DNA sequence: GACATAACTTACATTTTTGATAGTACCTTA
DNA sequence: TAAGGTACTATCAAAAATGTAAGTTATGTC
């Protein structure tokens, strides 16, 4: 996360692929280890940092911060800071963020089916 | 790829998440850097190793092999070896593999829309 | 003045993924 | 006998992602 060297072959490969395949472009945006869980929760409405931290098992504050920053950079979520004490920050999906819903729903269904088939 | 330490925190986190979120489970299967491109091509029908190598820009034989092996392990593709010379190996999506189509299509559409919005 | 709280940062370590390069086995054709 | 095609493997190195643990900041409360 965050430190992609723009001189690396890996970066170059991703760039080329993203240009040619929009599905890879999408995957690179929502492909972080915790991105999908975060988005899933946010589909139900905005949440605070601490709430996300609570409902997502095992994520560290560091990783949560990193993923939220990336999602914000990619315009998937917005970040709203309240001038209160103690601090309060709310995260919410953007319009295009909410449009991830059908993808997430389908992935969930597919995942369930795949699990089921593999358990037979 | 391939060498996940089952004692690592990362492994544990993935396991727990996959159990709770089928969409994360799905993402872990199709989330490799090249998996989606491979699947996209295979949606059009079976292909040989060398054909995939040709149409996918910049992928190395090593990475192609690794990804194909993983997809095979996960029952997304089948591998058929012909007893010919020169060697001929064909890869084809399984039934559940073909069922990725709607996901891929939607990710592609979403990706395009996202790109468009971000360019404005 | 010590302590708590929410939302972070920072520095460092480990794990995981990807890349570069060279080599292998097998058979066929020149 | 040598060269060439196909589908790989093996080794080593680099880059990228994730995890651990300890701060930090700003302000209210006891």
From the candidates A15, A24, A112, which should be mutated to test the interface with B, based on the most B CB atoms within 10 A? A24
Burial class (CB within 10 angstroms; exposed 0-12, middle 13-18, buried 19+) of A45: exposed
Domain count, chain B: 2
Residues 6 or more apart whose Cβ sits within 8 Å of residue A78: A72, A91, A92, A93, A94
Q: Distance, angstroms, CA B60 to C1' C26?
A: 22
**Which has the closest alpha carbon to B89: B31, B44, B50, B37?**
B50
CA gyration radius for chain B? 16
List pLDDT tens digits, range A73-100: 999 999 999 999 899 999 999 999 999 9
Q: Give CA–CA dist B47/B89, Å, rounded.
A: 8
pLDDT for residue B61: 97
Q: Which residues from A are below 8 Å from B14, CB to CB?
A: 33
**Count of CB atoms within 10 A of residue A36's CB?**
26
Average pLDDT of the segment spanning A107-112:
98
Domain span including residue B86: 33-118
Q: Are residues B37 and B23 in the same domain?
A: no
Average pLDDT of the segment spanning A1-26:
89
List pLDDT tens digits, range A28-76: 999 999 999 999 999 999 999 999 999 998 999 999 999 999 999 999 9
Q: Are residues B91 and B105 in the same domain?
A: yes
**Which has the closest alpha carbon to B107: B45, B27, B46?**
B27
As a whole number, the mean pLDDT across chain B is 95
pLDDT for residue B6: 87
Q: Are residues B10 and B59 in the same domain?
A: no
pLDDT for residue A120: 85
Q: Which residues from B are below 8 Å from A31, CB to CB?
A: 27, 31
Q: Are residues B59 and B6 in the same domain?
A: no
Q: Are residues A42 and A23 in the same domain?
A: no
Q: Are residues A39 and A69 in the same domain?
A: yes
Average pLDDT of the segment spanning A14-25:
96
Predicted confidence (pLDDT) at residue A2 exceeds the cutoff of 70: no
List pLDDT tens digits, range B23-70: 999 999 999 999 999 999 999 999 999 999 999 989 999 999 999 999
Is the CB atom of residue A73 positioned under 7 angstroms from any atom of strand D? no
Q: Are residues B100 and B112 in the same domain?
A: yes
Q: Are residues A80 and A100 in the same domain?
A: yes
Predicted confidence (pLDDT) at residue A1 exceeds the cutoff of 50: no
Residues 6 or more apart whose Cβ sits within 8 Å of residue A47: A41, A55, A90, A91, A92
pLDDT for residue A48: 98
CATH number of the structural domain spanning residue A73: 1.10.10.10
pLDDT for residue B36: 97
List pLDDT tens digits, range B81-97: 999 999 999 999 999 99
**Full-model pTM:** 0.93
pLDDT for residue B5: 78
Q: Distance, angstroms, CA B31 to C1' D3?
A: 41
Q: Are residues B38 and B17 in the same domain?
A: no
Structure token pair of residue A64? 């949560």
Average pLDDT of the segment spanning A18-27:
96
Q: Are residues B89 and B66 in the same domain?
A: yes
Q: Give CA–CA dist B29/B94, Å, rounded.
A: 14
Q: Are residues B21 and B42 in the same domain?
A: no
CB B24 within 8 A of CB B17: yes
pLDDT for residue B1: 42
**Which has the closest alpha carbon to B98: B52, B57, B39?**
B39
Q: Are residues A15 and A26 in the same domain?
A: yes
């Amino acid at each position: 996360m965050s430190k992609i060297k723009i001189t690396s072959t890996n970066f170059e490969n991703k760039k080329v692929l993203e240009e040619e395949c929009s599905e890879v472009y999408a995957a690179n945006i929502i492909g972080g280890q915790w991105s999908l869980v975060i988005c899933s929760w946010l589909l139900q409405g905005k949440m605070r940092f601490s709430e996300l931290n609570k409902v997502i098992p095992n994520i560290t504050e560091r990783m949560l911060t990193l993923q939220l920053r990336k999602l914000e950079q990619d315009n998937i979520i917005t970040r709203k800071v309240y001038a209160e004490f103690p601090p309060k920050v709310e995260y919410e999906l953007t319009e295009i963020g909410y449009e991830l819903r059908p993808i997430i729903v389908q992935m969930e269904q597919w995942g369930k089916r795949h699990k089921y088939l593999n358990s037979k």
